[in-house]
């Protein structure tokens, strides 16, 4: 499939400022991983200057190999015992208001890395009590005890991305399972109803509008309150091809449709990523609960 030229609406004006510069320097000094960096996220400057950033724990090698993802695939190293404290210390030093913690998938670990996620939340509560903690977790192989281990640590938001529609799973994320991901989200709603549930979808992978609507309804039925919808961008020529660049006005329609379906907040746009405007999203869902 011939790769279309990127449309103008995907061109990003780099943003910086003192806060972004501090986070940039901190990355160099502390050698911790951030998705902002490894995914070459177009919103890096804007998010960092707002005091939000996304950190990746549990190493840089994923046990899966999703066709859209730029994360390295391979045999992961054992978890670093001091990583939770290191992440927390860095957040405290950076005075972040809202931190998103995510990870590669660790099918090699019995609990999928759940105990490390729980430890990170605990350490952040101690070192940076004013920092909100949002977790974006893998599917943990559908292990309910592992999920409870994470939830019992009390994150402010629990996210798990559905990424795309079920028909495309075999090509796009072959080791994942659409129903398993929905079950994980529903289990959060059923066991910890006070923790807002969040998920994300990428467009332009060949999904139809009807399939997208069905996926949004499935997410809402699973108790998802926050939804992000963005444009899939191909990291390299070896990754899954972009089928279509979805225009901004279509994202606006999708946002309206999502709010009608019942999400408390829908962040939809060509450059939207899971953590984009994460803090604002949280505030909206909390305000919505009060209404």
CB of 142 to ligand SF4, least distance (A): 14
Q: To the nearest whole angstrom, how small is the minimum distance from the Cβ of residue 10 to ligand SF4? A: 21
Per rule CB under 6 A, is residue 64 in the interface with ligand SF4?
A: yes
Partners of 135 in the β-ladder: 101, 158
Give yes or no for residue 37 binding ligand SF4 (CB under 6 A).
Answer: no
86 binds ligand SF4 (CB under 6 A): no
65 binds ligand SF4 (CB under 6 A): yes
Q: Which stretch binds ligand SF4 (CB under 6 A): 58-66, 85-93, 191-199, 253-261?
A: 58-66
Regarding 66 and contact with ligand SF4 (CB under 6 A), the answer is yes
| Residue 74 CA, distance from chain mean position | 21
Q: Which two tokens stand for residue 131?
A: 């920092």
Are 56 and 31 in contact, with CB atoms under 8 Å apart?
Answer: no
Query: Is there a contact between 264 and 226 (Cβ–Cβ < 8 Å)?
Result: yes
* Residue appearing with tokens 């006070």: 194
Asked whether position 69 contacts ligand SF4 by CB under 6 A, the answer is yes
DSSP structural state of residue 168: G
Among 62, 101, 233, 278, binds ligand SF4 (CB under 6 A): 62
Q: Which helix (H) or strand (E) holds 159?
A: strand 157-159
Q: 265: closest CA among 198, 182, 215, 189?
A: 198
Which stretch in 3-11, 18-26, 64-72, 123-131 sits in contact with ligand SF4 by CB under 6 A? 64-72
**Rounded to whole angstroms, how far apart are CA atoms 248 and 189?**
31
Rg (CA), the chain: 18
Closest separation in Å from C-beta 107 to ligand SF4: 9
Residues 6+ apart with CB under 8 A from 103: 56, 57, 58, 113, 116, 117, 137, 138
Residue 184 found at the interface with ligand SF4 (CB under 6 A): no
Stretch that binds ligand SF4, among 66-74, 210-218, 225-233, 270-278 (CB under 6 A): 66-74
Site string for ligand SF4, 160-179 (x = CB under 6 A): -------------x------
* Contact residues: ligand SF4, CB under 6 A: 62, 64-66, 69, 71, 104-105, 138, 173
């Amino acid at each position: 499939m011939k790769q279309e030229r990127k449309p103008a609406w995907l061109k990003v004006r780099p943003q910086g400022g003192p806060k972004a510069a501090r986070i940039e320097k901190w990355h160099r000094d502390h050698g911790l991983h951030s998705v902002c960096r490894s995914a070459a996220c177009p919103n890096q400057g804007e998010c960092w200057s707002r005091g939000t950033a996304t950190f990746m724990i549990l190493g840089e090698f994923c046990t899966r190999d999703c066709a859209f993802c730029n994360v390295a695939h391979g045999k992961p190293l054992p978890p670093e015992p001091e990583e939770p404290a290191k992440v927390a210390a860095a957040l405290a030093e950076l005075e972040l208001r809202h931190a998103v913690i995510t990870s590669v998938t660790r099918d090699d670990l019995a609990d999928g890395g759940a105990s490390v996620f729980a430890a990170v939340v605990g350490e952040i509560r101690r070192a940076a009590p004013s920092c909100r903690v949002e977790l974006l977790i893998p599917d943990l192989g559908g292990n309910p005890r592992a999920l409870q281990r994470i939830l019992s640590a009390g994150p402010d938001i629990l996210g798990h991305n559905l990424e795309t529609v079920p028909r495309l799973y075999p090509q796009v994320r072959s080791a994942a399972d659409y129903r398993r991901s929905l079950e994980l989200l529903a289990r959060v709603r059923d066991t910890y109803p006070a923790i807002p549930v969040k998920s994300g979808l990428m467009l332009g992978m060949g999904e139809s509008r009807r399939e997208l609507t069905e996926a949004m309804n499935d997410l809402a039925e699973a108790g998802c309150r926050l939804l992000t919808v963005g444009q899939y961008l191909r990291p390299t020529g070896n990754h899954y091809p972009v089928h279509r660049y979805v225009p901004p006005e279509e994202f606006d329609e999708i946002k309206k449709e999502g709010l009608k379906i019942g999400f408390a907040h829908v962040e939809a746009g060509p450059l939207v990523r899971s953590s984009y405007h994460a803090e604002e999203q949280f505030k909206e869902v909390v305000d919505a609960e009060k209404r």
